[in-house]
Chain A
Amino acid sequence: MSAGLVILAVIAIAIVGFFVGRSRALNSAGGDIRQLHSLPGYYGQAVFLFSAVPALLVTAVWLILQPMMIENRISDMILPTDIAEGSSLELIMADVRRISSGLDTAVVAGALSEPEIETLNLDNTDVRGVLAGVGVAVASDIKPNVLDASVAYRAKTAAARGYMAVVSIAIALVGFAVALSLTKPDYRARNVSEAAIKSLLVLSSFVAILTTIGIIASLIFETSNFFRMYPAKDFFFNLTWNPQFTGGSDLGIIPLLWGTLYVSFVALVFAVPIGLFVAIYLSEYASSKVRSIVKPAVEVLAGIPTIVYGLFALITVGPLLRDYFAQPLGLGQSSSSVLTAGLVMGIMLIPFVSSLSDDVINAVPQSMRDGSYGLGATQSETVKQVILPAALPGIVGAIILAASRAIGETMIVVMGAGAAAKLSLNPLEAMTTITVKIVSQLTGDTEFASPETLVAFALGLSLFVITLGLNVLALYIVRKYREQYE
């Protein structure tokens, strides 16, 4: 019986339980639901939960533990002499798993029969040929012990599956019986069902925490692996980035960090003044008609995926800057450059800065504007001397959040900034960023044992720490310096 069938059987028992439980509750009250503590459906749900939840939990735990236990037993069958030079027990066990699942496929395809498998040995059967015949490729020659282990693995797995089916279904039936025996008119079935729902709600809110733990754990785990192969001092202070897949690479973060900060700085130089003035104009000057057109249009910019901006940088902005600025000025030859990526990223950040600042500016109470106008100030004087100082913490927060967004942005820099790690001041030269290198080190055929691949996790951790720090800083500034006008 396969795991899927067991789960289906348990659920079927539980569904039957729902109807039996409901009708039993109704009968016990003599058909008068006023005698019941809960609505009849809740009694059904209680039986459903008692039948399904314990059985499914046991099945899940079983499915996780079973391969580990069996492999533990089987690995004794592999002698040290079976492990070839450069191989390991883990690789052999992977072979065992592949062969045993291959045998399953062969049985299904009719190439082998059950009794044949029991007496299978390498002298009378070309196991590799048979497996290849059903589409399972086994890399190396199969050793006798490995084959025996596979056959044993297959037999044990099948036996364990059988036990699992029996145990799970038995638990489901016990739960069913217990719940039915509890079903009496004064049984608080609704509380049971609601407690179950509530625990489901709590579990869902765990997902956010689990995600954070997953991110931090995976980053730290792989980063520590990386630092075991490559000294942390070199990673943080080496001024060159030059990965060699043959070994002996320089993996210093400084050039990447420089590129990241330079591109983000250029982006903010474009985005902050434009975004801020858009926000000021929209909230202080614009008629409601202009506002109703411009505000959604700016928001469209925010809804466009970054890959679109990346393509824009690649096919339009990059060649434009190269042909009209870089080449005539003799500053560079490449269409991907810090300025290209920064300019396009600036466009992306305009709505980010403007909508956040807009909120802050609108939160400044009208009475302060009126007071300023009453003293004879012009509108621009009011903005500069009253509104902006009052809104400053919020605006600074918005700018920091925009900076964090710029540092973590990937597609625009992948397509617009270039791939050469350089420490240079020329904005028309191609430079590269942390995110670009994460992508380039982790795409393609990756082997998780070389520092050249693992460095991506160290870069990811640095990126995570930087952006997290900026976000926390922004929150802190907004909270601490926010003027309260109530």
Chain B
Amino acid sequence: MTDVTPTTSILTVDDRTRRRNVAEKRFRTYGVIAITLAMLALVGLMTSIFSGGLPAFKQTFITLDVYLDPAKLDKDGSSDLEKIRKVSTFGYAPLIKKALEEQLAKPELAVEGLKSKDAAKMISKEGAAEMRRFVLANPDMIGETVSFKFLASGRIDGYYKGRVTMQSAERDKNVSPQQLQFADKLKDAGLLKTSFNWGFLTRADASENRPEAAGLGVAILGSVYMMVIVLFLALPIGVAASIYLEEFAPKNWFTDLVEVNISNLAAVPSIVFGILGLAIFINFAGLPQSAPIVGGLVLTLMTLPTIIIATRASLKAVPPSIRDAALGVGASKMQAVFHHVLPLAAPGILTGTIIGLAQALGETAPLLLIGMVAFVREYPSAPPEGFFDPAAALPVQVYNWTQRADPAFVERASGAIIVLLVFLLLMNTIAIILRRRFERRW
């Protein structure tokens, strides 16, 4: 046997201890690095979305006084609405062009080498359509000069958001430096303004070549419709299933089967639910494509496991003494559950439901398969018929816009994400408040 004689004092750190301390520090640093990376990812994600998307909430408008020329709009002067209706948007475009020509003729606004045809391209193609709608609503204004606030075209709008520069305009066949100079002069004259873009929240989607007119109105409405369907189907079914499983179900193979099914459904990839929706709801049951009803049904099936798991947890949290007391004073089992246990579990159920709805709101993949990617210009009508009309959905609209060529749509997509995140934030805040407010510790 060798004697273990300490060669050094335990107060001085020997090599091995130093190594171990260094290893300890290293390990701790790994943890800090991991957390830093995760936080950086979160910050990077948010910065990317917000810096890209916030400009979508601003929009450039050009205010012009347009003379509603009777010679163009109401050729025979009969003020017959049917005849005015026959004038297409192409008939209105020359009026805008003329109004711009007048501005261009002013010495302080003149830009050398800018043709009035090109100047007219600075106004969104949506402008003529808006004017037509105005005239059809107010036919008696024909012959007057009316001030319109037109959307500027996507490139002009991009110029004030830093997406388009004088250099890039020279290479771009959709916009010329002269147009940008004219836009600057209009801005100095107070005719071109950038203001908050309500249209982004209220307009319908627009076609490929007019990103400035694209909005989220139909998508928001479609998402709201789907959430209503999910709420009205998933909440009752989920709560009923949980009550059965938690309070009544005997312990047998059937109950086991249901439980295994629920936990499996929670882990099935979302796209598989889309295939289910396509095969069962659309091909087999014959429901219409791109309709909120199909999306709502698919999302209901996806949300059910979340709601069932949350509901069962909160039913389980209600102490058995409550049930025993109710049974003791003569309530039936059903009365004990519905009169006492369920109200006490309600806050937890509600919180779980809201979280489930928030998940459903952001779900995209299954909706792609049931045709929600279709281009929808019309608002769906009011429910219940509206549930069967074609509509878009917020996350699918984002995907849709990323598939388009014009970079202005990427900005719109990021803006739509911000809207989506705001909705999610609202829902989760409500869930947290509910939990804080009504949570009970037994």
Contact = CB atoms under 8 A, between A and B. Distances in A.
A212 B269 contact: no
Contacts of B237: 204, 207
Contacts of B258: 205-206, 208-209
A411 B365 contact: yes
A316 interface: yes
A455 interface: no
Nearest to A456: B275
A342 interface: no
A297 B267 contact: no
B180 to A, nearest CB: 25
B44 interface: yes
B152 to A, nearest CB: 23
Nearest to A277: B34
A121 B240 CA distance: 55
Given A209-B257, A463-B272, A315 B368 contact: no
A200 B240 contact: yes
A304 B304 CA distance: 19
Interface residues of A, number: 83
B41 A301 contact: yes
B248 to A, nearest CB: 6
A206 B31 CA distance: 46
B264 interface: yes
B34 A306 contact: no
Given A198-B334, A281-B34, A442 B261 contact: no
Interface stretch (B95-103, B211-219, B314-322, B410-418): B410-418
B280 A218 contact: yes
A158 interface: no
Interface string B230-269: 0000001110110111001100000001100110110111
A457 B275 contact: yes
Interface stretch (A54-62, A149-157, A236-244, A373-381): A373-381
A31 interface: no
A401 B267 contact: yes
A130 interface: no
A436 B311 CA distance: 34
Contacts of A383: 27
Given A194-B334, A312-B45, A468-B264, A201 B275 contact: no
B44 to A, nearest CB: 7
B84 interface: no
Contacts of A273: 34
Nearest to A401: B267
Contacts of A277: 30-31, 33-35
B373 interface: yes
A97 to B, nearest CB: 11
A424 to B, nearest CB: 24
B42 A305 contact: no
Contact of A307 (B262, B362, B428): B362
Contact of B269 (A194, A285, A409): A409
B402 A415 contact: yes
Given A207-B304, A443-B369, A214 B241 contact: no
A285 B358 CA distance: 33
B421 interface: yes
A310 B33 CA distance: 25
Nearest to A296: B432
B271 A307 contact: no
Contact of B268 (A206, A274, A379, A467): A467
Interface in B352-374: 358, 361-365, 368-369, 371, 373
B119 to A, nearest CB: 32
A442 B369 contact: yes
Contact of A315 (B32, B52, B304, B362): B52
Interface in A219-250: 219, 221-222
B276 interface: yes
B279 interface: yes
Contacts of A401: 267
Interface in A279-337: 280-282, 285, 294, 297-298, 300-301, 303-312, 314-316
B402 A311 contact: yes
Contacts of B385: none
Nearest to A409: B269
A315 B410 contact: yes
A408 B30 CA distance: 30
B88 interface: no
A144 to B, nearest CB: 28
Given A306-B364, A315-B48, A442-B278, A278 B38 contact: yes
B23 interface: yes
B49 interface: yes
A335 to B, nearest CB: 12
A314 B402 contact: yes
Contact of B332 (A190, A350, A407): A190
A439 interface: yes
B420 interface: yes
A312 B414 CA distance: 9
Interface of A: 190, 194, 197-198, 200-209, 211-212, 214-215, 218-219, 221-222, 273-278, 280-282, 285, 294, 297-298, 300-301, 303-312, 314-316, 347, 350, 354, 378-381, 383-384, 401, 404-405, 407-411, 414-415, 435, 438-439, 442-443, 448, 456-457, 460, 463-464, 467-468, 471
Given A208-B262, A208-B308, A308-B49, 9 more contacts: A201-B248, A222-B279, A303-B424, A350-B38, A354-B38, A379-B28, A380-B26, A464-B268, A471-B264
14 contacts: A205-B249, A274-B38, A303-B428, A305-B420, A306-B362, A308-B45, A310-B364, A314-B402, A315-B48, A315-B414, A410-B271, A435-B269, A464-B268, A471-B264
Interface of B: 20-21, 23-24, 26-28, 30-35, 37-39, 41-42, 44-45, 48-49, 52, 236-238, 240-241, 243-245, 248-249, 257-258, 261-262, 264-265, 267-276, 278-280, 283-284, 301, 304-305, 308, 332, 334, 358, 361-365, 368-369, 371, 373, 395, 398-399, 402, 410, 413-414, 417, 420-421, 424, 428
